[in-house]
Amino acid sequence: MAQVIAPVPTAEIALRSTAPWIIRARRLLRSSRPYYAALGLCMFFGAWFLLVDVFKVWRFRELPGLVPSVKEWLSPDPVYGVSIFTAEYYSHIWASVYRVYSAFISATILGIAIGVLMGWSRVFRGLTFPILEMLRPIPILAWIPLAILLVPGREAPIIGLTFLAAFFVTILNTLLGVRSIDEVYFRAARSLGFSNTAILFHVIVPGALPYIFIGLQIAMGACWFSLVAAEIVSGQAGLGYKVWETYYYVQYETMVIIMATLGLLGYLSSALVRFVGKRLMRWRVRLLAGV
């Protein structure tokens, strides 16, 4: 691309006036990324199709095929009653999404509050940190039996477990975030006459935000992981329960649909957390060069 690049006068180093997303789109098309990505996806689905549907190689013959699964997913009247056109599909999705997001949001609010308190007061941290450190190594899924035995009802144990998965991670990352704030910002705030609440809202929370959002990304992933396990053991509805039920009743195509849906919802949830993070932390935008 040996265009002659005319030196642009320094005074007005103007970005072309076209909208930024058009620029990103044109840059993407010119790079090799989309073409290799397409190649990769073809190889993956091609292998699935050849190994399972066509040649039924070795153990692959036991697995659900690519074509039947996609057909089931898209058909208006699916054999086992679950496709993008049936209400049952969306009821399971809603059950899982409701559980994950109610647990995630409450864990975020409580987790950040406790994390900030632990970061702020050394006595509170002294009291609570040892307990946290003792409970943290216990895998979340190991809490399932206790949750089922102790927590009454059907929904509560599942939401409780998903809450736990996000709770520990959020507390720890908030604590890490508060401790990472340079002492100089507290000193500047105090000498500028900030009250304690002002320091909390204008220094601690925004300062800890980068770490908090690293925690929230991990927490969202952990929520979906734990939800599926909890639903398999004690759920009535929800994608995790459905995965097990379709396996039990040998409806393998539907099982693949549910797994794909879980993957999609997991990806969208993480993308949502990243999006919210970018919005709240616009100040972290790279320097003027607009990275």
d(CA 206, CA 39): 42
Q: How big is the chain by its Cα radius of gyration, in Å? A: 25
Applying CB under 8 A, among 203, 216, 219, 257 the residue interacting with another protein is 203
Residue 19 makes contact with another protein by CB under 8 A: no
For the CB of residue 230, give the shortest distance to another protein in the complex, in Å.
9
81: left (phi over 0), alpha (psi -120 to 50) or beta: left
Per CB under 8 A, which of residues 182..201 are in contact with another protein? 182, 184-185, 187-195, 198
Return the residues of window 262-281 that contact another protein according to CB under 8 A. 262-267, 270, 281
- The distance of closest approach from Cβ of residue 76 to another protein in the complex, given in angstroms and rounded to an integer, is 25
Residues 6+ apart with CB under 8 A from 139: none
- Select 76 or 248, whichever has its Cβ closest to another protein: 248
Query: Measured between alpha carbons, how far is 144 from 160 in angstroms, rounded to an integer?
Result: 9
Select the residue interacting with another protein from 116, 158, 172, 228 (CB under 8 A).
228
- Least Å distance, CB 207 to another protein, is 7
Q: Per rule CB under 8 A, is residue 233 in the interface with another protein?
A: yes
Residues in the chain: 291
Query: Under the criterion CB under 8 A, does residue 5 sit at the interface with another protein?
Result: yes
- Under rule CB under 8 A, residue 49 binds another protein: no
Distance separating alpha carbons of residues 74 and 82, to the nearest angstrom:
9
Q: Does 179 bind another protein (CB under 8 A)?
A: no
Site residues for another protein, 125-144, by CB under 8 A, read 125-131, 134-135, 137-144
Give the shortest CB-155-to-another protein separation in angstroms: 18
Number of residues that bind another protein (CB under 8 A): 106
52 versus 108: smaller Cβ distance to another protein: 52
Measured CA angle at 102 (ends 242, 255), to 5 deg: 15
Question: Are residues 23 and 16 in contact, defined by beta-carbon separation less than 8 angstroms?
Answer: yes
Q: Which one of 69-77, 79-87, 106-114, 251-259 is the stretch in contact with another protein (CB under 8 A)?
A: 251-259
Query: Does 57 participate in binding another protein (rule CB under 8 A)?
Result: no
Which residue type, as a one-letter code, is found at position 291? Answer: V
* CA distance between the termini of the chain: 23
Binding residue for another protein, selected from 29, 44, 90, 276, defined by CB under 8 A: 44
Question: Two tokens at 139?
Answer: 């895998």
If you ran DSSP here, which 8-state letter would residue 152 be given? -
Closest separation in Å from C-beta 281 to another protein:
7
| DSSP line for 200-216 | IIIIIHHHHHHHHHHHH
Stretch that binds another protein, among 72-80, 83-91, 117-125, 154-162 (CB under 8 A): 117-125
Instruction: Report if residue 79 touches another protein, rule: CB under 8 A.
Output: no
Which token pair is 26? 């044109």
Please give the Cα distance from 140 to 251 (Å, whole number).
29
